[in-house]
Homo-oligomer: A and B are copies of this chain.
Amino acid sequence: MNAPVSTPTSAPALTKNQSLVFDVLDRADAPMSAYTILDRLRDHGFRAPLQVYRALDKLLEFGMVHRLESLNAFVACAHPESECCGKGHGHGHGTVAFAICESCGHVSEFHDHEVDHRLGAWAKAKNFKPAKTTIEIRGLCGACAA
């Protein structure tokens, strides 16, 4: 009873723990730390951080969740449709950038092809082989800056 359960919907089938973690992130309106997720899931039988981290690892691998490095926290991917952001099947739309409001916590996810292109060009020129690129802008969102 531990294997992934196939669903009628999108990409890879999630296990119970993976679904629970994803649902928590998907309902949240701000990034959550692994330990905050853990606390939200105590009622569902979660007892230890590893249960969360293991689910997060898979969700990251599937491209359904992003890690915000500057926050040590996680968000559900903002483009649930179409297998999202690149890692999943090799396609997707390149590196994703995040704008993080330090007041309300809201995160906007966006992509800029030209930025990708410039960073890629630098890498090529330097013979650097990129594996993962992080772009995070911290500041104040329109609503909070007003």
Q: How many residues of A contact B (CB 8 A)?
A: 33
Complex formed: what's the CA distance from A114 to B119 in Å? Answer: 10
Contact B136 A133 (CB under 8 A): yes
Q: How many copies does the complex hold?
A: 2
A69-B70, A134-B135, A136-B133 known; A142 and B114 CB under 8 Å?
Answer: no
Contact A139 B130 (CB under 8 A): yes
Contact A132 B128 (CB under 8 A): no
Most buried by B among A70, A119, A128: A128
A141 contacts the other chain (CB 8 A): yes
A57 contacts the other chain (CB 8 A): no
In the complex formed, the residue of B with least CB distance to A141 is B128
Contact B139 A123 (CB under 8 A): yes
- Identify 8 new A-B residue pairs, CB closer than 8 A, beyond the known A97-B119, A108-B128: A97-B122, A112-B118, A115-B115, A115-B118, A126-B142, A128-B145, A130-B137, A131-B138
22 contacts between A and B (CB under 8 A): A69-B69, A69-B136, A101-B128, A108-B128, A112-B119, A112-B122, A114-B114, A114-B118, A115-B119, A119-B137, A126-B142, A127-B142, A127-B145, A129-B140, A130-B137, A131-B140, A133-B136, A133-B138, A134-B134, A134-B135, A134-B136, A134-B138
